[in-house]
Structure 1
Amino acid sequence: MKVAVNKNFNGLINVNQTIFKNTASKAKNILDTQITSNSEFDRVGRGDEKSNDILLKSTNTIVDDKLREIKIAIDSSANKFEELLEHNEDSLTKKKNSSKLEMNEKKDSLKEIYKNPWSVSVSGIINRYNISNGESVIDRRLNDNHIDRDVQINYGIALHHNLYNRWTLRIGAYLIKYNQSTRNIDSNIINFESLEHISYDVDQQMLNNFIAVSSTIEIRQKFTYLEIPIQARYSLIDGNIDLATIFGFQNRLLLNDQTFLTSKSKELLIGKSNNVYDYGVSVHLSLASRIHLYKKLYFNVEPAIYYHIQPFDNRGINLLSEFRLATSLEYKF
């Protein structure tokens, strides 16, 4: 840029010097004319007074004409100099704008070449599960009883890393809860003090008093798991709305296991299940969609089917399936 400016400025100086040389040449001609006229005047001045006046007027006319020519030449050179300055400023401005545009285009191209592969998401999850053959996890004598499995609202976080154009690897941490109630229990058939798959942790007298004063009793169980999923996402359609399949597996750690007897508004914690594994594994498959909201912010919707591999020690419970609908906000770095 400095070299271009110096060249333009030197060009202006050279043009200006040429103009003023021409002007100086004209001024020299005037002086020569004046000297010649003075010499002629001295030569002729010895004549009569009328001849002298004629010669003087002629000389003055020539000088005035030459002075006008000098003035016109100076004005012309000044105008040309100003035009050249304006032209030079315009060219410099255009070059600066062009350089800025080129730099911006290079920055944009570099941004397109490098895209940060990392993103993070926060999820809200609703889930509902079902046991394939409907066997009770409390006592086999309750297999025919009605079981209500609540829909739960859960949450989690995940870290995403884009591997290739369409593949993304994801790892996260989810807190998942399950609640179920076994209803319509006949106290004449079921002994609440000796349920098959319950480890009791309650005072016997408190348990007897609760049973004695309760006309209808239900058994309520609550489970809470910490899940660490490892998932692969493949984009089927890439755009403002991205459709993809997600598959993977997760390790499950049992955090909470409680069993209650409930009657109307009363509730008594009696212990926990003795047939639930503290650690488990599950696999899942999902059809997901990602919607571009604003700049680097995205909204994900992921309905999925989960299969939990042998979560209970019951031989009669083959497979526990679960439906989940996860929604999340994802921010791409």
Structure 2
Amino acid sequence: MNLKKAVVASMIVSSLLVTLAGPTFVGAETAGGKKQEQASSSSVQIDKKVAAKLQKAVQKFAGKDVKLQNVGELVRSNDTMARVQSVDGVYQIFFDHKTGKVWTLNGKTTIDKISKKDQDDVLKLLKKMYSGKTYALDKEVILERYYDDKKEQFSQDSTYLLKGKGFEVSLVKNDPDLKDYINRARIEFAKEELEAKLLTAAEEAVKTALDHQFNITEAYLVSNTKKNAWELKDGSSTLYVDEQSGKATNLFHNTRKKVTTSQTITAKEAKEVAAPLAKELFSIDITGYEVKWNSLYQDYCFVKDQETKVRVALDANKKVVYLKSGANALFGGEDPVASRLEEE
């Protein structure tokens, strides 16, 4: 998969997971028939030009007339990505509320759109990841497609999010490079199900890198079909731990604000912070690495053999906003959901 495709795939998976974890659809009804309240979030006003653009995209996606909500909402408070939902609660559009650029669209569909072979492959992967749970696929499936804003057309490939009690799997179909493949799977665990060794290692890593007392409230085993990692969260931070080695690979502080220019914190200062952490957590010695400021992601990259091995973003107090290693270091951004597992 080339770099552009990898970024797109990462973004699609990210928005799909946000769809599940975020506020309920406006006006969606519960089984009892009562309307649910929309969770509090930052509202985004949509001007007429952007509204017409969104309307055109969703109608092309659905193949029919679809009425959208008049107001959108920010996906994350520190980002420009927003989403707007359809009145019937079936469709969502993710777009940049600053530029109006449309990124992805998704809609609800059913499990019968997924072949028996694909369903079996998904269940086999889940069992391979962790055999101690029972897995049954929900009848409802989310379909998402990337939208080329300039050409006003959809990508050839489609991503399906299959769900069940305590798990979710993203399945890519019709990719022009890789055809069909499972992109990512995630199984939920209670804190009590985690081994004491993992808990101790996680707490120590977060204390070391983020200077934060880690109290896990969410835990997931995540797979890209090649490697598994633990995704551990509390209200302030997120940590990824390689399942096989037990070592941290990526850490994120969810509320700190990173500096946005290289003048605020110099390359020398960034290296002084990152070097001991990279060595202790990742066993990577970046002493002789080249340091580059990435103006797109507004962070520092530590490069060896023309490849970024470690990436760090700092706040004004030189505290870590995020610290990444391996394949995750190739991409910036503060969204841990969008991070990819390190490929073999």
User: Hey, which of these two has a bigger chunk of helix by percent?
Assistant: 1
Larger Rg: 1
User: Hey, which of these two has a bigger chunk of strand by percent?
Assistant: 1
Name the TM-score class by shorter chain: under 0.3
TM normalised by structure 1 equals: 0.20
